[in-house]
A and B are shown apart, each in its own frame.
Chain A
Amino acid sequence: MNPISDTMLMAYADGELDATERAQVEQALLADVALRARLDRHLALGSRVQAAYRAVLDEPVPDRLLQAVAAPLPAATVTSLAEHRERRQRAAAGSDKSDARDAWGWARWGGMAASVALGVLVAQALPRLQAPAAGDLPFAAQGDGLVARGAVAQALSSQLAGSAAAPGTGVAVQLSFVDREGRYCRTFQAASLAGLACREGDNWSLQVLAAGPSTPASAPADGLRQAASALPAAVLSAIDARIEGAPLDARAEAAARDRQWRR
């Protein structure tokens, strides 16, 4: 029998041989210690190389990549990594955040399709986000998406916006508005998550969820509603796509709460 070439041995290690060829290699392996040693070297290297990149799979996916999947197509064609690096450095330098500080003029993202599918998309990315242990997650699957439960639901139903994170719930609510479908929607921050939920029947239906800052934003002492500037871009973008008119002022919000967020 011909000796097994290194090419064939590697193909065997990579699972590329058909049944006949596999049998040939395996028969040779039985008789040839040196061949077994060569195979072990290939398998060992393969394991080491795989292991060296294993940790990346377990990392939480950066927010900007989730946004890239969900965001509307950019107006300009993206041509190079250099352009990306520039955009990223500009965003980090804060120049892209300046628009967001104007409470009534969010940076326009061109309007996303206001579909539940988009909410589901991000909600399905949930396991990859840095979230507390699964048992702590105050969300539940319902139909195609997620609804708020527990502390988040309670905060959305009863807390007024702009107040600091309530000691009881640990949830902060930033702002409330009416969306284009006529639903009340509210932003929230809880632990390391931030999101937007809209009232549907008896539930707060999650529209978007993103990794947020570790401490919830709270209103400065003068009471101005600027807490929302600390929300992640994905949530700001979702607001922009849905908001009808301006966010509710304190009076309108209290009235909405008293009506249990029904219109």
Chain B
Amino acid sequence: MTSTTAFLRHEIVHLLPRLRRFGRALTRHREDADDLVQLAVERALMRAHQWQPDTRLDSWLFRIMQNAWIDEIRARSRHAQTFVDEALGEQVGVSTTDAQIDGIAVRDAMARLGEDQRAAVALVLVEGLPYKEAAQVLGIPIGTLTSRLARAREALQVMLSPREVQA
């Protein structure tokens, strides 16, 4: 076990909740989210030498997750897999509060965003990454990130506002 790998293991343990949260924002299904985290952890440890110690570790891991997710999306579209919306199913048997009900609505709206827009929202609004970091994770210019973010926000506002008339 190299010292970098040992260091990474140590740091990644503490990042697991945030990685799981990002995974949950990115994918529609709980198991997909944890599968994504597990894959990213294994890949990160195998590529330990690629991580630059003066850069953010969370961004590096988000990037690995994001890329793995893109591969998965492409594979699924090739096999014409349809998504089953589990959002409501997950809540059965759990006592709900207003916040939890709103959470369902928000996660459902997020799931209906395009992949690019959802990733932008997940990185900036959920994980709180600065624009510069988020843009690097996605491998795009900052201007592209902010316009995706703007369109995503508009789309979410429409989906989440009960007074808007939906065409």
| Range class of the A interface residue count | 35 or more
Are A57 and B21 neighbours in the complex by a CB distance under 8 Å? yes
Distance A56 CA – B107 CA, assembled complex (angstroms): 12
Decide yes or no: A51 and B102 within 8 Å by CB, A10-B146, A66-B16 being known contacts: yes
Residue of A nearest to B43 (CB): A78
From 107 to 155 in chain B, residues with beta carbon under 8 angstroms from any chain A beta carbon are: 107, 110, 121, 124-126, 130-131, 146, 149-150, 153
Are A61 and B38 neighbours in the complex by a CB distance under 8 Å? no
Contacts of A6 in B (CB 8 A): 150
Distance A49 CA – B149 CA, assembled complex (angstroms): 13
Are B153 and A14 neighbours in the complex by a CB distance under 8 Å? no
Partner of A65, one of B20, B45, B75, B150: B20
| Range class of the B interface residue count | 35 or more
Q: What is the total of A-B residue contacts with beta carbons within 8 Å?
A: 130
Contacts of A66 in B (CB 8 A): 13, 16
Distance A151 CA – B62 CA, assembled complex (angstroms): 41
Would you call A82 an interface residue if the criterion is a C-beta within 8 Å of the partner chain's C-beta atoms?
Answer: yes
**Interface 1/0 per residue, A50-71 and B, CB below 8 Å:** 1111011111011011101110
Distance A113 CA – B45 CA, assembled complex (angstroms): 15
Are A73 and B71 neighbours in the complex by a CB distance under 8 Å? no
Are A51 and B20 neighbours in the complex by a CB distance under 8 Å? no
Contacts of B24 in A (CB 8 A): 53, 56
Decide yes or no: A64 and B43 within 8 Å by CB, A45-B156, A53-B21, A128-B17 being known contacts: no
From 75 to 131 in chain B, residues with beta carbon under 8 angstroms from any chain A beta carbon are: 75, 99-100, 102-103, 106-107, 110, 121, 124-126, 130-131
Contacts of B160 in A (CB 8 A): 45, 48
**Interface 1/0 per residue, B1-23 and A, CB below 8 Å:** 10000100110111011101100
Distance A125 CA – B20 CA, assembled complex (angstroms): 15
Distance A64 CA – B34 CA, assembled complex (angstroms): 9
Distance A66 CA – B19 CA, assembled complex (angstroms): 12
Contacts of B13 in A (CB 8 A): 66, 69, 121, 124-125
Are A7 and B6 neighbours in the complex by a CB distance under 8 Å? no
Contacts of A143 in B (CB 8 A): none
Are A45 and B102 neighbours in the complex by a CB distance under 8 Å? no
Contacts of A10 in B (CB 8 A): 146, 149-150, 153
CB distance from A175 to the nearest CB of B (A): 27
Are A74 and B42 neighbours in the complex by a CB distance under 8 Å? yes
Are B10 and A78 neighbours in the complex by a CB distance under 8 Å? no
**Interface 1/0 per residue, B23-62 and A, CB below 8 Å:** 0110000011011111101110110000000000000000
Contacts of A77 in B (CB 8 A): 46
CB distance from B31 to the nearest CB of A (A): 7
Contacts of A56 in B (CB 8 A): 17, 20-21, 24
Decide yes or no: A11 and B146 within 8 Å by CB, A48-B102, A55-B103, A69-B12 being known contacts: yes
Distance A51 CA – B160 CA, assembled complex (angstroms): 14
Would you call A81 an interface residue if the criterion is a C-beta within 8 Å of the partner chain's C-beta atoms?
Answer: yes
Distance A14 CA – B121 CA, assembled complex (angstroms): 11
Would you call A85 an interface residue if the criterion is a C-beta within 8 Å of the partner chain's C-beta atoms?
Answer: yes
Decide yes or no: A41 and B157 within 8 Å by CB, A7-B150, A55-B103, A65-B16 being known contacts: yes
Partner of B39, one of A11, A50, A58, A78: A78
Would you call A16 an interface residue if the criterion is a C-beta within 8 Å of the partner chain's C-beta atoms?
Answer: yes
Residue of A nearest to B32 (CB): A81
Contacts of A84 in B (CB 8 A): 35, 38-39
Residues of B within 8 A of A (CB): 1, 6, 9-10, 12-14, 16-18, 20-21, 24-25, 31-32, 34-39, 41-43, 45-46, 68-69, 71-72, 75, 99-100, 102-103, 106-107, 110, 121, 124-126, 130-131, 146, 149-150, 153, 156-157, 160
9 contacts between A and B (CB under 8 A): A45-B125, A49-B121, A52-B107, A57-B20, A61-B17, A66-B13, A80-B72, A117-B6, A125-B13
